[in-house]
């Protein structure tokens, strides 16, 4: 999946990634940002998300649009084993686009 960060130059855009846990065990994911522009993205509420059984969890990704060129990175969510159960590793492509420039 691709998560697009669009907005005005020099603004901050926050996207919330929703993760569902259909199993009967708790899942814990650690998030890592990698790629050419990974330093321009951040995880303001931390890099770990715990998802109770049959519930959903959220992780916020923040990006401040500092340049006109598109930024790209990858969000990787790696599961920790809890109760002997590990979830699938998840990846999301992160891309930015400037839609407006204000003086």
pLDDT tens-digit series, residues 16-51:
999 999 888 889 999 999 999 999 999 999 999 999
- The DSSP letter of residue 89 is P
The dihedral through the CA atoms of 3, 77, 28, 89 has a sign that is: positive
Q: Is the pLDDT of residue 85 over 80?
A: no
pLDDT at residue 76 in the model: 97
pLDDT tens-digit series, residues 60-78:
999 999 888 999 999 999 9
pLDDT at residue 103 in the model: 72
CA–CA distance, 8 with 93 (Å, rounded to integer): 20
Q: Is the pLDDT of residue 87 over 90?
A: no
* Domains, the chain, with CATH or none: 2-98 (2.60.40.10)
pTM equals 0.88
């Amino acid at each position: 999946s691709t998560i697009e960060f669009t907005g005005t130059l020099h603004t901050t855009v926050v996207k919330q990634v929703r993760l569902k846990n259909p199993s009967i065990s708790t899942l814990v994911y650690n998030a890592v940002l990698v790629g050419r522009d990974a330093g321009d993205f951040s995880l303001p509420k931390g890099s770990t998300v715990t998802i109770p059984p049959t519930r959903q969890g959220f992780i916020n990704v923040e990006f401040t649009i500092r340049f006109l060129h598109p930024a790209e990175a990858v969000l990787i969510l790696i599961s920790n084993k809890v109760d002997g159960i590990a979830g699938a590793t998840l990846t999301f492509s992160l891309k930015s686009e400037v839609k407006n420039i204000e003086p």
